[in-house]
Structure 1
């Protein structure tokens, strides 16, 4: 009896462990950090003195309220390091983001990722805040947010 109870108890622990392990993802995707919660602008640059990076920073300067209103994060990936520079802080790796976006070089490039994790914009030149916000405001999910009152209407 005692031996049978010990076996049952041991099997219960093993089954619970297997069940938990089977439900856990093998490798987290970078999009797990923002999917269905945030829109993400990813700016790649080869080095911190890149002229296009400087222009992109200037183009987004002073847009913090618009970025917050649209549930955005702006991540710069420079010299192989990822850093959230505006909006919601997200913990993503530079290598994971490069792999996710299938980016094979270090040249300047800007991506806008929707809450659905899809690429909505890809540009090899700096993008203005107005262009980003106008594009986002045409997206169905953003239009629903504006209608529901969870985001500012218009700009």
Structure 2
């Protein structure tokens, strides 16, 4: 910092005072003080373990996004599934009517249902395959018997 004294009549000081008065008159200064207090309280409440845990989660999320960016097919499938979820029940409180076993069997004659079931069966197959390939990452053993033709 400079050792020179601050000139109270300088243009910079006058501009700073005008800005401070404007912030006070609009109530923004109080908002800034409240925000600073909130940040101070939050920083006191957060410990090093929380920061490390959050950073690990953010790194993992970044890795997942990087993976997804390189998988356009996965992104398209997620888009289709998201749209289907939205159309299924725009409001979960008013979900579609319940369907019993007979109703489900009737729906199996619908070409759209058949196509969706094909997608789900393939998804389940691929999910099982990925679980088998990645079992070592998640600390569990898996011994899936493959069907014999």
Shorter-chain TM-score range: under 0.3
Structure number with higher strand proportion: 1
TM-score by length of 1: 0.21
Greater relative CO (CA pairs within 8 A, separation 6+): 1
